[in-house]
Amino acid sequence: MPSDRRTGKLLWEDIDTVNGFHQRGLETELVHANTKAEFLASLERIQGEASQGEYPILHIECHGSEDKTGLILGDSSFLSWSELKPFLTAINVATKCNLLIVMASCYGGYLGEIILPTDRAPCWGFIGPTDTIYPDELLSTFNAFYGELLASLNGDESLAALSARKLRFGGYYFTTAVNFFKRAYKGYLKEYCSESALEERAKRMSRKLKKMDSQHRPGKGAMKRLLKRTETPSFEKYHRQFFMIDLFPENASRFELSL
């Protein structure tokens, strides 16, 4: 917003100075994207650069919507998490699942609410606040985070520096692609693989076979057993897709999970 304090610019200036001091060979860039078109075009450019081997930490600073469903951009337009997710996912695919997203916006941690087990992971790691956050808090906490990261190149120490600065409301939410997948898959199992869900699915399949006048109509119990046998193959399929093991086989050793 025009009247807002330019915390993103101030933070970038501080980070750029610290980066120059430590001489890590890293590049920093500040991008102003006020409209949805500018914002998404910037993400597409970053995807292209990532495809050439430049793996970014993507720091997004703007307002979060009060209903926790997306971002409010500089021209007051709304960008939902659902609209944003495919652009983040494309960058993460380009980095072979190595993208760290830092969402410096109110309720930024709620991006994880829309991740499905049938997706590809939109990032390797994610940091975002769970509640309202104020400009002075953004500056102090992320100066501490990036200052430690550039000084030590230690992710755990950097997160500790971030968490040490308490917020007025809520806190910072850090998670990884593994936890995103676990949470999403638990939801999938609850909705589709519980006893009651299997019962309902077996009934629907029986009705469909009856309507098709199929000569082979297994009983409801046999149908439930058949559905249960698909659980492990389904898990393995979604696991390979989410962590891009089908694209990058080396990711199998990075993201070892079992049903």
Q: What is the pLDDT of residues 39-74, one digit of tens each?
A: 999 999 999 999 999 999 999 998 888 888 999 998
E strand spans, the chain: 57-61, 63-64, 70-72, 78-80, 100-104, 125-129, 172-176
Q: Which residue would you say has higher pLDDT here, 171 or 153?
A: 153
CB 125 within 8 A of CB 174: yes
Angle 11-16-22 (CA atoms, 0-180°, nearest 5)? 125
Sheet harboring 100-104: ordered strands across?
A: 57-61, 100-104, 125-129, 172-176
Pick from 187, 177, 183: nearest CA to 243: 177
Q: In whole angstroms, how far apart are CA 244 and each of 90, 127, 209, 251, 253?
A: 12, 21, 35, 7, 12
Q: What is the pLDDT of residue 195?
A: 74
Taking 60 as the threshold, does the pLDDT of residue 31 lie above it?
Answer: yes
- pLDDT of 2 over the 80 cut: no
Angle at CA of residue 151, ends 14 and 5, nearest 5°: 20
Domain borders along the chain are: 7-181, 185-254
Segment 95-139, tens digit of pLDDT: 999 999 998 888 877 888 889 999 999 999 999 888 888 888 888
Q: What's the confidence (pLDDT) of residue 100?
A: 96
The yes-or-no verdict on residue 87 having pLDDT over 60 is yes
Overall average pLDDT of the 167-195 stretch: 87
Confidence of residue 1 (pLDDT cuts 50, 70, 90): very low
pLDDT score of 242 more than 90: yes
pLDDT at residue 177, rounded to an integer: 95
What pLDDT is recorded for position 45? 97
* Domain 7-181 grouped into CATH 3.40.50.1460: yes
The predicted model gives 194-211 an average pLDDT of: 71
How much is the pLDDT for 210?
Answer: 67
pLDDT tens digits, 6-26: 788 899 899 999 988 988 888
**pLDDT value of residue 77:** 93
More confident call, 244 vs 212: 244
Would you state the pLDDT for residue 6? 76
- Which comes out higher in pLDDT, residue 171 or 227? 171
Sign of CA pseudo-dihedral 230, 245, 127, 132: negative
Per-residue model confidence (pLDDT) at position 250 = 97
* Terminal-to-terminal C-alpha distance of the chain: 46
pLDDT over threshold 90, residue 36: yes
**For residue 87, which amino acid is it?**
F
Tell me the torsion sign for CA atoms 35, 87, 53, 15.
Answer: positive
**Token output for 4:** 């807002």
Distance of CA 157 to the CA centre of its chain: 22
- Look over the chain and give the mean of its residue pLDDT values, rounded to a whole number: 87
